[in-house]
Amino acid sequence: MTIGIVGLGLIGGSLAKAFAGDETAKHTIYGFDTDEAMLSFAELTGAINGKLSEDTLANCEAVFIAINPGNAVDWLRENASKIAKDTLVIDCCGVKQSVCAQCFPLAEKYGFVFVGGHPMAGSHKAGFKNSRADLFAGAYMILVPPVYDDPVLFGRLEETLKPLGFGHLTVTTAEKHDEMIAFSSQMAHVVSNAYIKSPTALGHKGYSAGSYRDLTRVARLNADMWGELFMDNSDYLIDELDGFIKSVSEYRNALANKDKEELVRLLEEGSRLKGEVDAE
């Protein structure tokens, strides 16, 4: 395949390396990044074969857009007329409603195929230097297609994504994606980021272990990127936060009231729910 990748950070760089390392087929990979030095380095390391330009874009059979949602929409709007008809375009943004609502009409107008995508893989370490070919191995890939009754499209998606090594493809709507991601990803980042603000954290060394590491792993984040994702999905995220604040308040009240029976009930309830969730 001839593949275009917009953005060569952690996700885009890992896409490039995975396709470049595919032992079952030889792919031609063109990349674009606003950092020209990073673009040259990616080519030097063999992750890409050259720059994604107006000429090379026209030759791409698949294009992945791995930049922030607003920039992704802007890039597609500016380049839609240069994309060949029937080209498969997949974004890798962490929200889907705001992206798909603007990109589906562009695809229909210019004749290419747009599918919303969200690879559920990443790291708190960003940038091309931290990208790796096996980042997506065994991970979920969430897909929001323009239609849900096209077996040819789904076959094409499976074939295109196969070199990346995803463990499962989840097909859903943009609305359902954003609702679930507010809980499974965005809330975790908010809680982690807020938790580390305790003044006690400054003296944690010598007193912390796995629980601390697990809860604070995603506290270090790209504030601009995550801020944009949170704002784009604010309704669902606020709902999750309201529920979380209510739940945490119940624990606090039990402690303040010296009500061990209620505290134990809350803890047992959480433990039971965790078991039920993991058993699904």
How much of the chain is helix, strand and coil, in % rounded to 5? Answer: 55, 15, 30
- Output the six-digit token pair for 117: 């995508």
Query: In one letter, which amino acid is 121?
Result: A
Do 196 and 217 form a contact (C-beta atoms < 8 A)? no
Q: How many residues does this entry show for the chain?
A: 280
For 19, half-sphere exposure in the C-beta direction (CA atoms, 13 angstrom radius) is 24
**What's the order of all strands across the beta sheet hosting 2-6?**
50-51, 28-32, 2-6, 62-65, 88-91, 113-119, 140-144, 168-171
pLDDT at position 23, please? Answer: 87
* CA distance linking residue 27 with residue 49, whole number of Å: 9
pLDDT at position 280, please? Answer: 63
* CA distance linking residue 88 with residue 173, whole number of Å: 18
* Count of other CB atoms within 10 angstroms of residue 29: 27
Q: Which residues of the chain have pLDDT under 70?
A: 280
pLDDT at position 122, please? Answer: 78
Residue entry with tokens 């912390």: 208
- Output the six-digit token pair for 267: 């803890």
> Which pTM does this prediction carry?
0.92
